[in-house]
Amino acid sequence: MDFKQIIKQRATTYNFQPMEVSKDKIERIIEAGTWAPNRRLTEPWRFWVLTGDGRLPLSKVMEEIAKDIMSEAAEEERNKRMETYKNLPLKAPVNIIVACELTEDDKVIPVEEIAAVNACVENMLLTATDEGLGAFWGTGNYVYHPKMKEILGLKDKDAVIGVVYIGYAEPSNRIRKRTHFSNFTKWIDEDHSYIK
């Protein structure tokens, strides 16, 4: 598939078919992630691949996180959110938790490490598309909750970047749209004392 076509075809997948994904496809997706740019070649990405019953610990901790996050909410709303979080890892046959393990080197800027792992995830999403798979980059309160670091054995300074849910996508008629880049772009071809 043409690279531009892969970029435009990649879309967040919420519904997956109950089909296994081969290990070699998963490995190609992760390997592509590790070719992301990373300053000083620190390679800060870390991966946990959860399949089958291996998804259950994530399901359980996400349910606990939802309970914690929704502690002030009405019982019905809290229970609904807990059920949603509990079921999310089970909807996709493959869950890849991606984290950033920050280096101890004081010369390395933490935000650059996190940016590198974000680029890593984008490589993974594009490769999943190229492999004929759908993917969903799950982020939000549950990902950044301390319990996620705890189950992964990460240090306080480290960061969970997201859970990449992967599988064969259910057919969808959803049409993706993007605002033309010209709306966000300024061309500067003369020397100015400032750029705005």
Q: Express each pLDDT in 160-175 by its tens digit.
A: 999 999 999 998 877 8
Which of 167, 161, 116, 113 lies closest to 139 in space, CA to CA? 161
Is 10 labelled a binding residue?
yes
11 annotated as belonging to a binding site for a ligand = yes
138 in a known ligand binding site: yes
CB 168 within 8 A of CB 134: yes
Is the pLDDT score of 179 beyond 80? yes
| Confidence label for 191 from pLDDT (cuts 50, 70 and 90) | confident
Average pLDDT over residues 101-114: 91
What pLDDT is attached to residue 196? 72
Arithmetic mean of pLDDT, 119-131: 98
List Cα–Cα distances, 4 to 32, 103, 126, 196, in angstroms.
Answer: 17, 34, 10, 30
Which domains, from first to last, does the chain contain?
3-184 (3.40.109.10)
Over range 103-109, report the average pLDDT: 87
Between the CA of residue 93 and those of 53, 67, 109, 167, what are the distances in Å?
A: 10, 24, 35, 6
Angle formed by the axes of helices 75-91 and 56-69, nearest 10°: 160
Q: How far apart are CA 144 and CA 68, in angstroms?
A: 13
pLDDT digits (tens, 9 = 90+) for 139-160: 999 999 999 999 999 999 999 9
Per-residue pLDDT, 158? 96
Residue 73 in marked binding region: no
β-partners of residue 96 are: 49, 164
Is 127 labelled as part of a ligand binding site? no
**pLDDT (0 to 100) of residue 28:** 98
**What burial letters (b/e) apply to 47-83, b meaning 16+ CB within 10 Å?**
bbbbbeeebeebbebbbbbbbebbeeeeeeebeebbe
pLDDT of residue 188: 87
In angstroms, rounded to a whole number, what is the distance separating the alpha carbons of residues 152 and 48? Answer: 8
DSSP 42: -
- Per-residue model confidence (pLDDT) at position 29: 98
Digit-coded pLDDT (tens) for 61-76: 999 999 999 998 999 9
